[in-house]
Structure 1
Amino acid sequence: MPPTRRTATVEFVRGSVRGTRRRALATLPSLFTLANMMCGFAAILVSIRGQYTLAAVLVGLSIVFDITDGAVARLVGAVTPFGLQFDSLADLVSFGISPAVLAFTLFSEGRDEWDPLGWVVCFLWVACAAIRLARFNTTIDPTADKRYFIGMPSPGAAGVVLASVFAFGDQMQGRDRLWVLLIVAVPALLMVSNIRFRSFRSLVSPRSGKPYGIIAAALAMVVGFSLAPVVTGIVLAYGYLLAPVLIPVVSPLARLVPDRLKELLT
C-alpha cells in the first residue's frame, strides 16, 4: 500500500530517535575521555599547591577513565578517528604533563627556582610521552601482534610515578634525592623504546569470550587495594615496568599450571 502521511510521520520519528540514540552512544566514550583530561588537569593544579597524594589519586583516576573509554567505545561500536585523537590529547595532559609536574614539584619542594636538572628530566618525560602517543597514532601495522605495545604505554609509565608517590612521597622531596629523577627518566625512555609491553585491551574488551581471567585479576586487585593499597600499587606498577625482563624468567613456571586452568584464564 502507498505510504500515508501518518506512516511517513511515524517513520520519520523512529528515524530521528534512532539517530539521536546513535549520536548519544557515539558521545559516551568521549565523556570518559573528558573525565580523564579533567582529572589530569586537576592533578596539575593540586601538585602546584603541594597536595601530592591527592595529585597521585587524580592521575590514578585518569588511568581508570582511560581504560574505560576504550572499553565503552568498543562496546557501543563508536571507535572513531575523532575519539582516537581526543583520547591521545587527553593522555598527553593526564600522563604527559601531570606526572612531570607532580615529580618536579616534589623534587623542587614547591620552590619556583631555576633547577636545570629537574627541568630537563621532567621535560624529557613530557617529550617522550608526546612522541609515544604520536607514534602510536601514526603507526598502523595490520600484521603487528595486537597483544603487545611497542614501548611502554603512557598510563603504565604514569603508574610508576603515582605508585612511588604513595609509597615514599615524603622521602622524594629535596634536590639531594637525585634517585627521584630516575623514577621519571627510566619510564620516560621506556615509552620511546622498541621494547614490547603486554597490552591488556583484549582482556577488558566486552566481547571477550572467556572473561574469567580479567574477573580473577580484578578481584585480586580489589582485595589487594583494600588490604594493602601501597604494596599492591608498587607491585603492579613496578611489575609492569620490569615485565619485559621478568616474563622470560617466570614463563617456564607456566608449565606447572594445569591445562584446564590455563584454558579458563586465557
Structure 2
Amino acid sequence: MTKHIPNTITILNLFCGCVAVIQLFEKHYDWAFFFVALGIFFDFFDGMAARIFNAASPLGLQLDSLADMVTSGVTPGLTLFFMLQNSSGMPADSVIPYLGFLPTLGSCYRLANFNIDTRQTDSFIGMPTPGNALFIVSLPVVLASTTSLIAIELLTNHFFLIVLAALSAFLLNAPIPLFSLKFKSFRLSKMKFQLVLVLFSVLSLVVLQVAAVPLIIFLYVVLSMLKNATERKSQKTSA
C-alpha cells in the first residue's frame, strides 16, 4: 500500500497544475499562484516519500516529469501569454503573445533532459522548473498589488516580457550549476549559501508576501553563481 503514496502525491501535483491553468483562464492570478505553489509543495515531498517508503521507481520518475510539465511548464507560459495580451499597445489580433510560451518549450526540454542527466542528483544545472514557474506566475500578482510605477511600466511592457520569456527558456537549460536546498550537511561552511537564501526567503515573505518571490528566485541564481565562483577559487588555491 505504501508504495502508492509517492505517486499519489505526484498526481496531486498534477491536479494542482490543472486547477492553476483554469484559474489563469479565469484571470484569477492569485489563485493560480496558490495552486502552482501547492503543486510544487507536493512535488517536493513526493521524492521524500519515495525515499521514506523505499518506493522509488521508473514510473514515479516519469510521472513526476509529466506532472511538472503542467504545474511548472504550462502555467508560466500561459501566464506570460496573458500578460503579453494585456500589455500596453498590443493589437488584439497580434501573434506576439504566443512568444510567452517560450518558457513552456524550455521547461519541456529541461524535464526530458533531467531524466537522463546523471549529473543533477545533488544539485541542478540550469534553473529548476518549479523556481522558474514561481517567478513568472507571481508577476501578475505583483502587478495587481504594486504601486511602483517602475514595476508597472516593466510588467506591462511587451518588449520586457518577451525578453523575460526568452531569458527564462535560456536559464532553464543553461550550463549553470545551481545549488539544491537539500540539507545533507549541518556544517555552516558547507551550507552557508542555502542558509542565507532560506533566511532571506522567510523574512521577505513575511514583509512582502508574494512580491518577495521574484526577489527570492533572483537571489537564488546570484548566490549559486557566488557559490560556484567561491568553489572554483578554492580549487585553484588547493591546486
After TM superposition, the score normalised by the length of structure 1 is 0.70
**Which residue number corresponds to residue 52 of structure 1?**
29
The 8 Å contact of residues 160 and 183 in structure 1, kept in 2 or not, is answered as no
| Percent identity (aligned) | 26
User: Within 2, Cα distance between the matches of 1:112 and 1:43?
Assistant: 26
- Please say if 1:131 is aligned against 2:112: no
Q: What whole-Å deviation, never above 9, does each CA across 1:35-91 have from its counterpart, x for those lacking one?
A: 111111111111111111221222111211111111111111111100000000000
- Please say if 1:233 is aligned against 2:210: no
User: Within 1, Cα distance between the matches of 2:200 and 2:9?
Assistant: 25
Using the TM superposition, give the Cα deviation of residue 223 of structure 1 relative to its aligned residue in structure 2, in angstroms: 4.9
- Please say if 1:29 is aligned against 2:9: no
After TM superposition, the score normalised by the length of structure 2 is 0.77
Of 120, 140, 152, the match for 1:165: 140
**Which residue number corresponds to residue 96 of structure 2?**
117
Give the aligned residue type for 1:240: Y
Tell which structure's C-alpha radius of gyration is larger: 1
CA RMSD of aligned residues (A): 3.1
Count the aligned residue pairs. Answer: 219
User: Within 2, Cα distance between the matches of 1:64 and 1:177?
Assistant: 31
- Please say if 1:81 is aligned against 2:50: no
Give the aligned residue type for 1:190: L
The 8 Å contact of residues 123 and 178 in structure 2, kept in 1 or not, is answered as yes
Using the TM superposition, give the Cα deviation of residue 210 of structure 1 relative to its aligned residue in structure 2, in angstroms: 4.5
Give the aligned residue type for 1:147: D
Gaps of at least 5 residues in structure 2 are: 146-151, 235-239
The 8 Å contact of residues 60 and 162 in structure 1, kept in 2 or not, is answered as no
- SS at 1:228's partner residue? helix
Give the aligned residue type for 1:191: L
User: Within 1, Cα distance between the matches of 2:113 and 2:75?
Assistant: 20
Distance 1:239 1:126, change over 3 A: same
User: Within 2, Cα distance between the matches of 1:161 and 1:190?
Assistant: 13
User: Within 2, Cα distance between the matches of 1:60 and 1:247?
Assistant: 26
The 8 Å contact of residues 76 and 137 in structure 2, kept in 1 or not, is answered as yes
Q: What whole-Å deviation, never above 9, does each CA across 1:163-186 have from its counterpart, x for those lacking one?
A: 333333473765x43212333221
Gaps of at least 5 residues in structure 1 are: 1-23, 256-266
- Please say if 1:177 is aligned against 2:158: yes
Give the aligned residue type for 1:134: A
User: Within 2, Cα distance between the matches of 1:239 and 1:216?
Assistant: 10
Q: What whole-Å deviation, never above 9, does each CA across 1:193-213 have from its counterpart, x for those lacking one?
A: 21111122x32xxxx574997
- Please say if 1:199 is aligned against 2:183: no
